[in-house]
A and B are shown apart, each in its own frame.
Chain A
Amino acid sequence: MAREHEEQPMHPHAPRRQMTRRQFLSYTLGAAGAFMAGGVIIPMIRFAIDPLLKPKAVVPFVKVAELSQISSQPVSYSFQTLQIDGWIEKNVEQTAWIAKSSAGELFALSPVCKHLGCTIDWNSNPQHPNEFFCPCHAARYTPEGKNLAIAPAPLDEYEVKIENGFVYLGGIRPNTIAT
């Protein structure tokens, strides 16, 4: 008898490593729930961040002026760009002040004052000759667009490309020539 007793397992109630039915159902329901929630939430997140995922729109260059006409004196040139706003496409007229720097580098400045967004003009105030002047609050800039008074930053500039003797302008970026 004693020998038979010794052949019994040492720990008859030791925990088994198999999954219980309750655990199996919990895991299965959890996985199915997560899958279904993901099917709803992932497209919503994708929709919300869609603009970030899209490659940045490249502003096409527009032919604006003949290179031979550009001098050190800023001259205003108007040109049209296609603006796409949702379903609406329209041509928007833009203006650039184009000139050559003292180093001979060609640049094109935005006419939008960096103070509050009025339109600046060249050489329009007799008290401040050879400067860009804003008629709204008297902000002033050098020919290269460096801010002299009122405005907190230099005038923005257009990206410039020269091809076959013509000046092409692209997108607007912060000023790189004003020192």
Chain B
Amino acid sequence: MKFDAVPKEQWSQWEAYVDTVLIPWSALCGSEMPWEMHARLALVRDVMEPLERAFAGRVLTIPAVHYGVGDAGWQEVSTVARMCRVRGVAFVVVAAPHVPTGMCTEAVDLIVCPDGAYIVKEGQWVVWEQPMHPLVALWNTSIV
């Protein structure tokens, strides 16, 4: 579900079930042409939508992180992910146009890109190749 679809009055009932946050990250720096920005956002949208549709009852999509020069954008995503953890979120997923070049952060469990899903393994982003959806595999490591 998207953040704007959550009524304040209902959140206390849903909070226990919605333990995963989806952060859209468009990885823009501002120097892109308008059509390049559009294409980048479309890439992120295309990886987000199937996730949102399939796991609408457990994944909360929050407002996107858009701009950052160099690794600054990814650092911003990492900071947001860490703050989500502070709030009590159990899993953080990032929808991105590509795998970040910056360092891995333990605050992010999974990155979903147009070319596949990536998890952190030994400090590196490793492509997920198992048939089970990586998010479901992550959830299976915990009991709701």
Residues of chain A touching chain B, judged by Cβ–Cβ distance below 8 Å, are: 113, 115-119, 134-138
Given contacts A117-B1, A119-B55, 11 further A-B contacts (CB under 8 A): A115-B17, A115-B57, A116-B57, A117-B56, A118-B54, A118-B57, A119-B54, A134-B57, A135-B54, A135-B133, A136-B139
Of B57, B58, B133, B144, the most chain A CB neighbours within 10 A belong to: B57
A residues in contact with B136, CB < 8 Å: 135
Q: Knowing A117-B1, A118-B57 are in contact, say whether A135-B17 is a contact too (CB < 8 A).
A: no
B residues in contact with A118, CB < 8 Å: 54-58
Interface pairs (16), CB distance under 8 Å:
A113-B57, A116-B14, A116-B17, A116-B56, A116-B57, A116-B58, A117-B57, A118-B57, A134-B57, A135-B55, A135-B133, A135-B139, A136-B17, A137-B17, A137-B58, A138-B144
A residues in contact with B54, CB < 8 Å: 118-119, 135
CA of A113 to CA of B53, assembled, Å: 11
How would you classify the secondary structure of chain B's contact residues: helix, strand, loop or mixed?
loop
Query: How many B residues face the partner with a CB closer than 8 A?
Result: 14
B residues in contact with A115, CB < 8 Å: 17, 57
Q: Knowing A135-B136, A137-B17 are in contact, say whether A119-B144 is a contact too (CB < 8 A).
A: no
Q: Which residue on chain B has the smallest CB distance to residue A113?
A: B57
A residues in contact with B56, CB < 8 Å: 116-119
Total inter-chain residue pairs, C-beta < 8 Å: 37
A residues in contact with B58, CB < 8 Å: 116, 118, 136-137
CA of A134 to CA of B58, assembled, Å: 11
CA of A12 to CA of B9, assembled, Å: 75
Of B18, B56, B136, B144, the most chain A CB neighbours within 10 A belong to: B56
Q: Give chain B nearest CB distance to A125 CB in angstroms.
A: 10
Q: Which residue on chain B has the smallest CB distance to residue A136?
A: B58
CA of A119 to CA of B57, assembled, Å: 9
A residues in contact with B14, CB < 8 Å: 116
In order of increasing CB-CB distance, the 7 nearest A-B pairs are A116-B57, A136-B58, A117-B56, A118-B57, A119-B54, A135-B136, A117-B57
CA of A70 to CA of B18, assembled, Å: 36
A residues in contact with B133, CB < 8 Å: 135
B residues in contact with A137, CB < 8 Å: 17, 57-58, 144
B residues in contact with A113, CB < 8 Å: 57
Q: Which residues B38-56 have CB closer than 8 A to chain A?
A: 53-56
CA of A136 to CA of B59, assembled, Å: 9
CA of A117 to CA of B56, assembled, Å: 6
B residues in contact with A136, CB < 8 Å: 17, 55, 57-58, 139
